[in-house]
Structure 1
Amino acid sequence: MARNQGEVANQLAGNQAGIAELRSRLLFVLFALLVYRIGTHIPVPGIDPGQLAALFDQSQGGILELFNMFSGGAWERMSILALGVIPYITASIIMNLMTMMYPQFQQWRKEGDAGRRKITKVTRYLTLAIATIQGVSLAVTLANQGLAFDPSFTFYFVASLTLVTGAVFMMWLGEQITERGVGNGISLLIFAGIVSGFPSALGQVFEAARQDQINIIALLFITAIAVGVVWFIVRVERGQRRITVNYAKRQQGRRVFQAQSSHLPLKINMAGVIPAIFASSLLLAPASMASWFGTNPGMGWLQEISLVLSPGQPLYIMMFAAGIIFFSFFYTAIMFDPKDVADNLKRQGAYVPGIRPGQQTAKYIDDVITRLTVFGALYVTLVCLLPEFMIVAFDITFQLGGTALLIVVVVAMDFMSQVQSHLMSSQYAKLMEKSNLQTYGRRKGG
């Protein structure tokens, strides 16, 4: 009786320790997001808020609005975090491309933690370089647009330094959330920025409905579609294609392991929200540069490029769809290697029924991944572009785009799964510790 009570007490203590660790991680995430939201309300020194508000009123539905969504309203206030995570995401895209093209970076990927530290270091320096280019360009643009009180060298220097420092801080904050919190830090920062704009966006929609700018039936229909899209996203993200894997009968020492059957789970959308984020960032970079430099004398043609690449334009829609499809295949190819999976199965004595181990298994898995990626890419493209088609159908402007909805739902699901994983890992660690102690006690008593 006393022994059972002791085991229950140890289990409760282990659960409490795991919950305490999870609580500290969640509090850190909450604190980091609070710091981020405070930073989005601190303006760059020397900016005229009246002129800035007038500029945003003139560019509703354009590239500035898309920037503002990803920055959590930082662009609308031209805060010190206006560049957001865009420089870091752009640097990550470049590093992934270089990893595919150059053997040196491929070797780093195979070196484990040491190689990842090298890639992270190069990514940080590349982020700093991109943030410097964008920060200086933005400071010059702000002065040319008449948004600065005193467009002198002091303003250029202070504004550029502030914006670059803010971008580097965002990169550091995202890494800290990933390491000391729960979930992917960069995704959570984007999630927090998008969610912060939901109340005002919903308020604008209801105000438009109150003023009869939107038909109430159309509003109900749009709400039903939004709920259906969320349900569809959840179903697809939880969907799996399970490949049956059989393990041959084997013997280790005197122990004989019977043949077993398992499965290899493959997600339908293995790339997650990465294609949508990468495609948006890749389109935002040239559009923003064209918009910034287009204000200079003799560079008006860049403004035309910026308008063509604005959301809702045909070229934007085609390039956005092409970018999502490309990054879906690209990111899946980087994160999942069918040849490595086939080699691991062969070493473990496992095989796919009806498929020869080795090269044939790798080809079979690659075919399955290709079919899944085709469906996943089309699904992400449909979700992200659905609001664009609804704008044409209902002749209204949506503050909440399909990309924002996809990111919010997928990041929330990933966050909850990470929380459950932390709880299960803490319980498993306590169970293993308890098992080892019991084994040690029996050996000592024997």
Structure 2
Amino acid sequence: MNDHASLRRRILVTLGVIVLFRLGQSLPTPHVTVRAPENDHPLRWILDLFTGGGLSTLPVFAFGVLPCLAAPPVLRALTVLIPRLAALRAEGEAGARVLTRYRRRLVVVLGLLGAVAVVVLRGPDVFSGAVAVACLTAGAALVLRLTEVITDRGFGDGVRILLLAQVLAVLSREFPRLYETKGWAAVVVMAVVALSIAVITIVVAQGQRRVPVQYAKRMVGVRAYGGSPTYIPFRFPQANSPAVLAAVLLSLPALWPGVDWLRDEGNPGRIALYFVLVCLFSFVRAAVTQDMDKVAVELVRVGGFVPGIRPGNPTAEYLDYVYRRIVGFGALCSGVVALIPAVGLALLDVSPRVPVAGVALQVVLVFLVSVSLDTTRQIESLRQRKRYEPFLR
């Protein structure tokens, strides 16, 4: 009963925080006049995904989790520039606590800057502007606290869970709009696109190549230790950056004369070039993330070896050969995942609404799947820990 009560409590905390978060994104900010959103603006949909549609209506949680997403990369950039922050990063757990405190303050500062920018653009009087800035900044701080509550007492990473909630809220409005403009055929095509991306992403994320490893036995007194077989799991690292980089590179030549075919997202040549670039960038990114020489040296240090392969350089060459085959297959799957929404949007002829609609749709769907998988793994890990906890006492 304790296991079920703990799971139930975590689930209720997560759902309760999500409800509070969505209520905050519906609560209007005082002294702010709501304007009709610009439906045809090319960046509106992408901004809505990161803010839950808050920049159109300016509720109390107008920025959603955007300040929480922006704070870590900004802090990493400041760590490179400021020696004091770099020293804190090298101090271990004590420095990590200080950096966490700085990250929280940075989230509030980013919320304050965003609130000031929004109020200046809206142009209310001084009193109304001060009240709006205070409410929007407090909303950003409260969203930060809600993410921490989910991380500590709920399931999954709080920022990613709330981002998932606001993304789903935006997408739930897009499907009826798509049905009104394109009919049932568009809804079916988008459902097939979403299901295909989800299935391929799950298969690639869950799949692994297990390279067997054997450890030499050691005699300590009259007892033998070690010798148990294990394996090295190789997975293809999931990332959306290759698709984003490929889309950016394809968008830059569109500004030059003589390459009009790159401006049409439904052009077969552009789609084929996009597929090749995604595969290439995915392969390069995954290939440089693993150093097989270090893996082989570590195996020698702990007394492990791959059966049938000599330790040292032969082991590194064998592991590199296996990993490159995995990377090649994963890169091909990444290209297919990037190709599916591009083809689907080209068939529906809706890509002019957002210049990078295919990339945005792919990033959103892959993110939804990854968050769902991470949350499921955490739930299963908690269940297993509770099941074996009496034997570990």
Task: Classify the TM-score, shorter chain.
Answer: 0.7 to 0.9
Change (3 A) 1:385 1:116: farther
1:170 aligned to which of 140, 143, 148: 143
For 1:366 and 1:171, the matched residues in 2 are separated by: 42
Change (3 A) 1:200 1:217: closer
1:132 aligned to which of 101, 112, 124: 112
Is residue 356 from structure 1 mapped to residue 311 from structure 2 by the alignment? yes
2:94 aligned to which of 89, 114, 121: 114
Is residue 78 from structure 1 mapped to residue 58 from structure 2 by the alignment? yes
Alpha-carbon deviations, 1:327-377, whole Å to 9, x = none?
Answer: x959x95xx8878766664553223453635x9877876887677667657
For 2:214 and 2:82, the matched residues in 1 are separated by: 37
1:256 aligned to which of 215, 224, 227: 224
Is residue 429 from structure 1 mapped to residue 389 from structure 2 by the alignment? yes
Q: TM-score, normalised by structure 2?
A: 0.75
Of the structure 1 ranges 252-261 and 422-431, higher mean CA displacement relative to structure 2 is found in 252-261
For 1:73 and 1:367, the matched residues in 2 are separated by: 47
Q: Which runs of 5+ in 2 are unaligned?
A: 249-264, 268-272
SS in 2 for 1:123: helix
How much has 1:178 moved relative to structure 2?
A: 0.9
Output aligned runs, 1:182-261, within 5 Å: 182-208=155-181, 213-214=182-183, 216-217=184-185, 219-257=187-225, 259-261=227-229
For 1:206 and 1:391, the matched residues in 2 are separated by: 14
For 2:339 and 2:57, the matched residues in 1 are separated by: 27
What residue is the counterpart of 1:31 in the other structure? 16
Counterpart amino acid of 2:344? Answer: M
How much has 1:206 moved relative to structure 2?
A: 3.0
Counterpart amino acid of 1:113? Answer: E
How much has 1:188 moved relative to structure 2?
A: 0.3
What residue is the counterpart of 2:349 in the other structure? 395
Counterpart amino acid of 2:14? Answer: V
* Alpha-carbon contact 1:132-1:160 (below 8 Å) kept: yes
Of the structure 1 ranges 122-131 and 16-25, higher mean CA displacement relative to structure 2 is found in 122-131
For 1:98 and 1:371, the matched residues in 2 are separated by: 38
Counterpart amino acid of 1:57? Answer: N
Counterpart amino acid of 2:158? Answer: G
Q: Which runs of 5+ in 1 are unaligned?
A: 1-15, 144-150, 284-311, 434-446
What residue is the counterpart of 1:64 in the other structure? 44
For 2:45 and 2:79, the matched residues in 1 are separated by: 33
For 2:197 and 2:89, the matched residues in 1 are separated by: 36
* Alpha-carbon contact 1:325-1:381 (below 8 Å) kept: no
How much has 1:163 moved relative to structure 2?
A: 2.0
For 1:97 and 1:374, the matched residues in 2 are separated by: 32
For 1:125 and 1:168, the matched residues in 2 are separated by: 9
* Alpha-carbon contact 2:63-2:111 (below 8 Å) kept: yes
Alpha-carbon deviations, 1:14-51, whole Å to 9, x = none?
Answer: xx2222222211111111111101100012222223xx
Change (3 A) 1:199 1:129: closer
How much has 1:169 moved relative to structure 2?
A: 1.9
* Alpha-carbon contact 2:200-2:333 (below 8 Å) kept: no
* Alpha-carbon contact 1:276-1:403 (below 8 Å) kept: no
SS in 2 for 1:250: strand
* Alpha-carbon contact 2:175-2:187 (below 8 Å) kept: no
* Alpha-carbon contact 2:193-2:340 (below 8 Å) kept: no
Change (3 A) 1:96 1:244: farther
* Number of aligned positions between the proteins: 363
Q: TM-score, normalised by structure 1?
A: 0.67
Change (3 A) 1:239 1:248: same
What residue is the counterpart of 2:257 in the other structure? none
Counterpart amino acid of 1:173? Answer: L
Change (3 A) 1:276 1:89: farther
Of the structure 1 ranges 219-228 and 37-46, higher mean CA displacement relative to structure 2 is found in 219-228
For 2:220 and 2:48, the matched residues in 1 are separated by: 61
Change (3 A) 1:199 1:84: closer
Is residue 418 from structure 1 mapped to residue 378 from structure 2 by the alignment? yes
How much has 1:156 moved relative to structure 2?
A: 2.5
Output aligned runs, 1:271-310, within 5 Å: 275=241
Alpha-carbon deviations, 1:411-445, whole Å to 9, x = none?
Answer: 11211111111000011112223xxxxxxxxxxxx
Is residue 91 from structure 1 mapped to residue 71 from structure 2 by the alignment? yes
For 2:192 and 2:236, the matched residues in 1 are separated by: 25
For 1:101 and 1:347, the matched residues in 2 are separated by: 36
For 2:102 and 2:314, the matched residues in 1 are separated by: 37
Alpha-carbon deviations, 1:212-258, whole Å to 9, x = none?
Answer: x34x5555344333322221111111121323222111223432135
Output aligned runs, 1:399-410, within 5 Å: 401-410=361-370
Alpha-carbon deviations, 1:135-164, whole Å to 9, x = none?
Answer: 211221222xxxxxxx11223222222222
Change (3 A) 1:418 1:195: same
**RMSD (CA atoms):** 4.2
Counterpart amino acid of 1:27? Answer: L
For 2:232 and 2:117, the matched residues in 1 are separated by: 49
